[in-house]
């Protein structure tokens, strides 16, 4: 099934993610503008760090909330959260005081973080893995484009707030529609073996450290841009921002090409370019050129950390936690380094600035190398279903006889063993419904004593190797 022939749930989730990106960036933009009316540029950057930190709390709260709240109450919680977010948007618009804007912004971004964590989790389960980067890139590009239109076509602050409020309501509806049916697939992508889980967690820890280090580069660039915006000497909402959309699309295409082989090296090149941009700006280079480089590389970075964590999440014990962790790690690092980035930019000690940048770049290079190796080891431990010679029908027949599989169960097993597609595509291949496929997989799990699709595949090959021995 081609990546553009997506089922309705994936399309809904793509649109939901686009609205999440629009709402997140749009309210952040509004927050900065309203803060600039009551305080100075440096305080605006600091306050921006606070709301980014609040969004991290939301990302971390979602897994706990999802496990505690019963399904029948989830709809009420989503609508209540959307209403609270709308109220916060209009409180920010009023900009009565620094404290009021900050409080409303923090509450709003906690709610946004929770909703964002949910949509990342749902999409990681619904989208085809081989086309995940394109899916994320398209959603990101649409979100950026919506923000661009909002910033440039709507000149009234109140009207902009209304648009953001309506978008929040639409987002909540999309999220609830997409959520239906995801729970049915809960057991489909659980980790199957301790070795796979251990290697995935190892790769995940190095990925967290990598994103932290790269974010230090991008947060420094972002601080420089935000300072200019808050001071009124530049507007980050103008046409160069469309480069974010373009770079997000390009990143999706390149990251998915050739089985993700060039994903890490492309991101490394973008990091080098961003570090060079900081040096240029520090030495009085043109701000516009720095803005273009920042937007081009930032799109690649967003798609990189989003896709990397979503791919890892399906191999983790708690996929709800890991699927949206990329955004959370990026935001918490931006929060922590916000004030430090300002001091670094404003420091007159050029040797200190260049020295810190050099150390950071060396650390990024080392961690990139370690993470790539950890990721390679993880992939080696996973079953390479496409390399299995299932022409040996007698092996499958023997397995089916040993575990009393029906003819239909045997057909389902045969397809599962050679396919890495999602459940919807496999169901279409077998010409059965998703619900019927889940019933067959559940029956296979019960007969073989396994707990997931991946566990079933691994059990089959272990059984096959034992019999060969």
- pLDDT tens-digit readout, 171-209: 888 888 766 545 444 443 443 444 445 567 777 888 888
Angle between helices 287-313 and 98-126 (to 10 degrees): 50
97 or 430, higher pLDDT: 97
Asked if residues 197 and 315 have their Cβ atoms less than 8 Å apart, the reply is yes
Query: What is the gyration radius of the CA atoms in the chain, in angstroms?
Result: 24
Mean pLDDT of 327-342: 75
Mean pLDDT over the full length of the chain: 77
> Of 133, 113, 121, which Cα lies nearest the Cα of 189?
121
Give the pLDDT band (50/70/90) at residue 392.
low
Residue 108 structure tokens: 């709003």
Residues of the chain above pLDDT 70, percent: 74
User: How far is residue 464 from each of residues 103, 207, 339, 467, measured CA to CA in Å?
Assistant: 60, 35, 58, 5
Determine the pLDDT at residue 383: 45
Give the pLDDT band (50/70/90) at residue 343.
low
* Fold of the domain built from segment(s) 8-381: Growth Hormone; Chain: A; (1.20.1250)
Mean pLDDT of 401-406: 82
Determine the pLDDT at residue 193: 43
Determine the pLDDT at residue 396: 77
CATH class held by domain 386-468: mainly alpha
Residue 162 has pLDDT above 80, yes or no: yes
CA dihedral 186, 58, 295, 124 (to 10 degrees): 0
Range from 66-75, 206-215, 249-258 carrying the lowest mean pLDDT: 66-75
Range from 98-107, 157-166, 184-193, 427-436 carrying the lowest mean pLDDT: 184-193
Determine the pLDDT at residue 206: 85
Residue 217's contacts (CB-CB under 8 Å, 6 or more residues apart) are: 271, 274, 275, 278, 360, 364
CATH 1.10.10.10 segments of the chain: 386-468
Q: How far apart are CA 19 and CA 28, in angstroms?
A: 14
Asked if residues 343 and 356 have their Cβ atoms less than 8 Å apart, the reply is no
Give the pLDDT band (50/70/90) at residue 103.
very high
Determine the pLDDT at residue 109: 92
Determine the pLDDT at residue 248: 87
Residues 47-74 pLDDT 10s: 888 888 888 888 888 888 877 776 667 7
Determine the pLDDT at residue 375: 67
Residue 462 has pLDDT above 80, yes or no: no
CATH 1.20.1250.20 segments of the chain: 8-381
Residue 242 has pLDDT above 90, yes or no: no
- Surface-to-core class of residue 74, CB atoms within 10 Å of its CB (0-12 exposed, 13-18 middle, 19+ buried): middle
Asked if residues 46 and 35 have their Cβ atoms less than 8 Å apart, the reply is no
Range from 76-80, 91-95, 164-168, 458-462 carrying the lowest mean pLDDT: 458-462
Determine the pLDDT at residue 389: 46
Determine the pLDDT at residue 282: 64
Residues 299-321 pLDDT 10s: 888 888 898 888 888 777 788 88
Half-sphere exposure of 35 (CA within 13 A, CB side): 29
Asked if residues 93 and 157 have their Cβ atoms less than 8 Å apart, the reply is yes
Range from 75-84, 194-203, 218-227, 243-252 carrying the lowest mean pLDDT: 194-203
């Amino acid at each position: 099934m081609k990546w553009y022939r997506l089922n309705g749930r994936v399309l809904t989730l793509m649109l939901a993610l686009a609205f999440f990106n629009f709402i997140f960036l749009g309210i952040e933009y509004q927050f900065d503008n309203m803060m600039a009316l009551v305080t100075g540029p440096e305080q605006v950057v600091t306050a921006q760090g606070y709301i980014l930190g609040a969004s991290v709390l939301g990302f971390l709260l979602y897994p706990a909330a999802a496990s505690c709240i019963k399904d029948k109450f989830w709809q009420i919680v989503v609508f209540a959260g959307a209403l609270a977010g709308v109220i916060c948007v209009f409180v920010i618009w009023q900009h009565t005081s620094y404290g009021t804007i900050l409080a409303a912004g923090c509450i709003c971004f906690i709610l946004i973080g929770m909703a964002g964590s949910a949509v990342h989790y749902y999409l990681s389960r619904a989208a085809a893995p081989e086309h995940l980067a394109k899916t994320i890139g398209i959603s990101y590009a649409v979100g950026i484009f919506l923000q661009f239109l909002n910033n440039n076509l709507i000149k009234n602050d109140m009207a902009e707030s209304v648009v953001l409020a309506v978008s929040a309501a639409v987002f909540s509806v999309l999220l609830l529609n997409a959520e239906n049916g995801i729970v049915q697939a809960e057991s489909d992508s659980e980790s199957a073996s301790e070795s796979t889980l251990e290697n995935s967690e190892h790769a995940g820890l190095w990925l967290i450290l990598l994103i932290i280090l790269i974010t230090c580069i991008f947060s420094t660039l972002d601080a420089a841009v935000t300072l200019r915006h808050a001071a009124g000497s530049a507007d980050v909402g103008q046409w160069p921002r469309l480069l974010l959309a373009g770079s997000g699309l390009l990143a999706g295409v390149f990251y998915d090409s050739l089985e993700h082989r060039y994903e890490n090296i492309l991101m490394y090149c973008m990091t080098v370019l961003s570090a060079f941009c900081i040096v240029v700006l520090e030495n009085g280079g043109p701000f516009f050129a720095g803005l273009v480089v920042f937007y081009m590389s930032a799109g690649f970075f967003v798609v990189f950390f989003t896709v990397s964590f979503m791919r890892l999440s399906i191999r983790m014990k708690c996929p709800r936690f890991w699927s949206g962790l990329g955004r959370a790690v990026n935001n918490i690092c931006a929060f922590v380094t916000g004030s430090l980035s300002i001091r670094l930019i404003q420091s007159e000690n050029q040797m200190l600035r260049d020295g810190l940048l050099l150390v950071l770049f060396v650390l990024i290079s080392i961690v990139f190398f370690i993470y790539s190796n950890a990721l390679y080891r993880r992939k080696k431990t996973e079953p390479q279903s496409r390399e299995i010679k299932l022409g040996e029908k007698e092996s499958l027949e023997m397995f089916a006889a040993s575990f009393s599989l029906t003819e239909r169960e045997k057909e389902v097993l045969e397809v599962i063993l050679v396919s890495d597609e999602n459940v919807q595509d496999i169901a279409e291949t077998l010409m059965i419904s998703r619900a019927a496929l889940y019933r067959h997989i559940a029956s296979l799990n019960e007969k073989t004593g396994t707990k997931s699709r991946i566990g079933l595949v691994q059990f089959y090959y272990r059984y096959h190797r034992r019999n060969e021995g």
